[in-house]
Amino acid sequence: MKLKTDKIKKLHHSLIFSMDLDAFESKMDSEYLALQKTVKTKGFRKGKTPLAQTKAMYAEQVRYRVIQNEAEKSLKAYYADKNVRPAATPKVDIKEEKKAISLDVELDVLPDMPDFDFSKIKLEKEITPVDDDQIQTSLKNLAESRRTMEKMTEKRPLKKGDVAVIDFEGFLDDKPFEGGKGERHFLELGSNQFIPGFEEALIGKELGKTDVHVTFPKDYGAKHLAGKAVLFKVDVKEIRTKVLPEINDDFAKELKLKDLADLKKTITEQLQKQNDDQSMRLLKDKLLDALTDKIKLDLPQSLVDQEVHMLKEQHKDMKEKDILKQAEQRVKLGLLLGDLGKKFEIKISQQEMKQSLIQQAMMARHPNPQQLLKDFDKNPNQFSGLYAMIFEDKVLVQLLDKVTITEKTVKSKK
């Protein structure tokens, strides 16, 4: 096919390719002859089906194949001649005239990446040393996680923080309702496990039976109970109190460490890694913002439209202008990071993918990480999102070596 029209507006190309109808039909005849050799129809041996019958059976299929082949060849030649890369699948409209067949093509191409001195990007990295408050909070949390519950022997009223061991049954209009009954339930008062008012009503009560009147929230999940006033008949069987272990050398030894000093050192190292990881995440976010703000780039409209469509599906309440802005930012960053990844020759191994997959699974508390690995081995392409995440991170790590970074020491956020 010959290029008849080539209108270019920034990244959008409007093309018309044309082929003489006689030449097009000649190519179709060649396809029919090749197809005839493979066709087997009733009453004829393979390759012996009459050409007229072959044409009648496969006219649409052959026509589509010829047009597709010609379009692919013509566009490939156009890309090479103009030194452009398509941003998305071109839109092709087929038109058949008396003496010619033409293809109207609407095409977006990828922009040329601008040369940029990344040292001009100036970022501030926050350094957060571990302070004593962080260490003490971690020690308290650790002790809380290893607490024991002791049954009270002395008689006294329940107070906030106690664990009440209770039997209970709920009544709506003097009738028990489904899901409103429990036996020997351990309820920490002040934990907000139950509906509002229930735990507060038990504070001050002693062992034995008591009535608790509460109203379910209007947005409660079970519609037949939402907004309804109910009565719970409660029997307080036991009162238990939390007993925290003393934070000393013996406590550290239970955790397989030498002494309290060793425990504090271990906690400090863990906290510092958390602080450093958070600092790096913030720095990478600042770098992404800087790339978006400082580098000017024309964007293929087809890619922006795709991103807008995706965001509308994900955020139905988001304003149009905010969707457009975010879509443009995503497309811009995708193009920039993709280009930089090629320049930096970023490679991601299967082993890296698997290690990251396991880490993500552990963070999300996936019930069967090994199954994820099996799924990966069967079809790695379904984990394209994970690949993109690792790719972006590797690009940003290399890019941080090229930007200008100053450090600022800040206190930990409580």
Residue 93 lies in a domain: yes
Closest to 255 in 3D by CA, of 146, 363, 149: 146
Cβ count within 10 A of residue 153: 6
Transcribe 18-70 into DSSP letters.
Answer: EEEHHHHHHHHHHHHHHHHTT---TTS-TT-S-HHHHHHHHHHHHHHHHHHHH
294 with 391, same domain?
Answer: yes
Give the chain's domain count. Answer: 3
Closest to 164 in 3D by CA, of 146, 176, 152: 152
In the three-class reduction of DSSP (H, G, I as helix; E, B as strand; rest coil), residue 112 is classed as coil
Residue recorded with tokens 């907000």: 192
Residue 271 lies in a domain: no
102 with 170, same domain?
Answer: no
The whole-number pLDDT of residue 58 equals 84
Across 70-105, b (16+ Cβ under 10 Å) vs e yields bbeebbeebeeeeebebbeebebeeeeeeebbbbeb
The whole-number pLDDT of residue 126 equals 94
Boundary (domain end) residue, out of 218, 243, 268 = 243
Residue 258 lies in a domain: no
pLDDT band at 109; cut points 50, 70, 90:
very high
Residue 38 lies in a domain: yes
pLDDT reading at 43 higher than 80: no
Boundary (domain end) residue, out of 108, 138, 157 = 108
Residue 263 lies in a domain: no
Residue 178 lies in a domain: yes
> The domain containing residue 238 runs over which residues?
148-243
288 with 355, same domain?
Answer: yes
Residue 261 lies in a domain: no
- Here the CATH number for the domain that contains residue 196 is 3.10.50.40
Q: For residue range 322-359, what is the model confidence (pLDDT) as tens digits?
A: 999 999 999 999 999 999 999 999 999 999 999 999 88
190 with 301, same domain?
Answer: no
For residues 36-58, average pLDDT: 81
Residue 138 lies in a domain: no
For residues 30-37, average pLDDT: 86
- Here the CATH number for the domain that contains residue 403 is 1.10.3120.10
231 with 299, same domain?
Answer: no
First CA to last CA distance, the chain: 69
102 with 212, same domain?
Answer: no
d(CA 238, CA 255): 31
34 with 91, same domain?
Answer: yes
231 with 330, same domain?
Answer: no
User: Is the CB of residue 252 less than 8 Å from the CB of residue 259?
Assistant: yes
Across 237-253, b (16+ Cβ under 10 Å) vs e yields eebbeeeeeebeeebbe
pLDDT band at 51; cut points 50, 70, 90:
confident
226 with 324, same domain?
Answer: no
Q: For residue range 200-256, what is the model confidence (pLDDT) as tens digits?
A: 999 999 999 999 999 999 999 888 899 999 999 999 999 999 899 999 999 999 999
User: Is the CB of residue 92 less than 8 Å from the CB of residue 105?
Assistant: yes
Of 53-57, 75-79, 374-378, the one with minimum mean pLDDT is 53-57
- Here the CATH number for the domain that contains residue 76 is 3.30.70.1050
How does DSSP classify residue 109?
Answer: B
Q: What are the C-alpha distances in Å from 283 to residues 234, 300, 315, 332, 339?
A: 54, 28, 27, 19, 21
d(CA 40, CA 47): 6
313 with 395, same domain?
Answer: yes
pLDDT band at 414; cut points 50, 70, 90:
low
385 with 293, same domain?
Answer: yes
172 with 95, same domain?
Answer: no
d(CA 129, CA 138): 15
How does DSSP classify residue 326?
Answer: H
Boundary (domain end) residue, out of 56, 86, 108 = 108
